[in-house]
Amino acid sequence: MKSIMFIAPPAAGKGTQAEMIANKYHIPHISTGDILREIAREDTEIGNYIYETMASGDLVKDEITYKLIENRLSLDDCKNGFIIDGFPRNYEQAVEYNKILERVNLKLGYVFVLDIDKKTLEKRITGRRVCEGCNAVYNINEESTTPHIESICDICGGKLYQRKDDNLESFRTRYQNYLEKTATVLKYYEHQNVTYHIDGNKSVEEVATQIDDIINKKGN
Ligand code: AMP
């Protein structure tokens, strides 16, 4: 069973890598950011709360994410593996994640840590575009991930948009959150010897190769 987690700062390319692995191994890509963005589209109390929180770059309340994750991991398509992206983001979530995994009878597996420079992230954040239809991610500041037709998804023909939180101001809050809160998650997993560090400054293909090599070496 391939259970894979990514720990990475915003715009490090974890979504892109997660999508590639999901397609390769036919396992679901579970992104808390994507699930939350869906809910944020609804004109409900919780939808509006999530919309505002995400736009500011802050984290939404832990309890909301726990329910989403447990419900999603309970589905049958996770039995042969899954990729969790964007969770856990703080120490409390990491501790709760263990309990959730136990309840749904799944394993922690690989914890990939994408190491990447802040300067590279700032360049990527302003170029990121996401497909409205299938959530595919592009970057117009990088040749290899620019869509063939401007603003149109290569995969499904959907319209590409720029996320509301993909601006430098919101990025700085999210990056600070990452440094302060996710650093404790990192330590938590480092202690358990389950992390694999990847050089995220490399191209999409080179990062994918580093990840593949680790999975192939371990063989499960
Ligand atoms: P992402 O798509 O992973 O960059 O997440 C975008 C935004 O969604 C974050 O800045 C948070 O506002 C929210 N979010 C995603 N995952 C979580 C989480 N695990 N806990 C709290 N908020 C989250």
For ligand 1, atom 15, the nearest C-alpha belongs to: 33
- How far, in Å, is the centroid of ligand 1 from the Cα of 173? 12
Residue 14 appears among annotated catalytic residues? yes
The whole-number pLDDT of residue 215 equals 92
The whole-number pLDDT of residue 15 equals 87
Give the three-state DSSP class for 38: helix
Question: Is 0.75 surpassed by the pTM of this model?
Answer: yes
Instruction: Please state the rounded mean pLDDT for residues 29-37.
Output: 94
* Nearest-angstrom CA–CA distance, 195 and 199: 13
The 3-state secondary structure of 106-166, one letter per residue: CCCCEEEEEECCHHHHHHHHHHEEEECCCCCEEECCCHHHCCCCCCECCCCCCEEECCCCC
Residue 172 appears among annotated catalytic residues? no
The whole-number pLDDT of residue 143 equals 86
User: 219 pLDDT exceeds 80?
Assistant: no
Nearest to 58 by CA among 188, 181, 185: 181
Of the candidates 2, 14, 72, 129, the residue annotated as catalytic is 14
Mean pLDDT of the chain: 93
Instruction: Please state the rounded mean pLDDT for residues 75-102.
Output: 96
The whole-number pLDDT of residue 97 equals 97
Question: Which residues are CB-neighbours of 165 under 8 A, at least 6 positions away?
Answer: 54, 55, 56, 57, 171, 174
Residue 24 appears among annotated catalytic residues? no
- How far, in Å, is the centroid of ligand 1 from the Cα of 33? 5
Instruction: Please state the rounded mean pLDDT for residues 136-165.
Output: 93
Question: Which residues are CB-neighbours of 90 under 8 A, at least 6 positions away?
Answer: 59, 62, 181, 182, 184, 185
Q: How confident is the model at residue 28 (pLDDT cuts 50, 70, 90)?
A: very high
Q: How confident is the model at residue 165 (pLDDT cuts 50, 70, 90)?
A: confident
- How far, in Å, is the centroid of ligand 1 from the Cα of 58? 8
Amino acid at 98: N
By most ligand atoms within 8 Å of CB, the mutation choice from 16, 60, 93, 181 for ligand 1 is 60
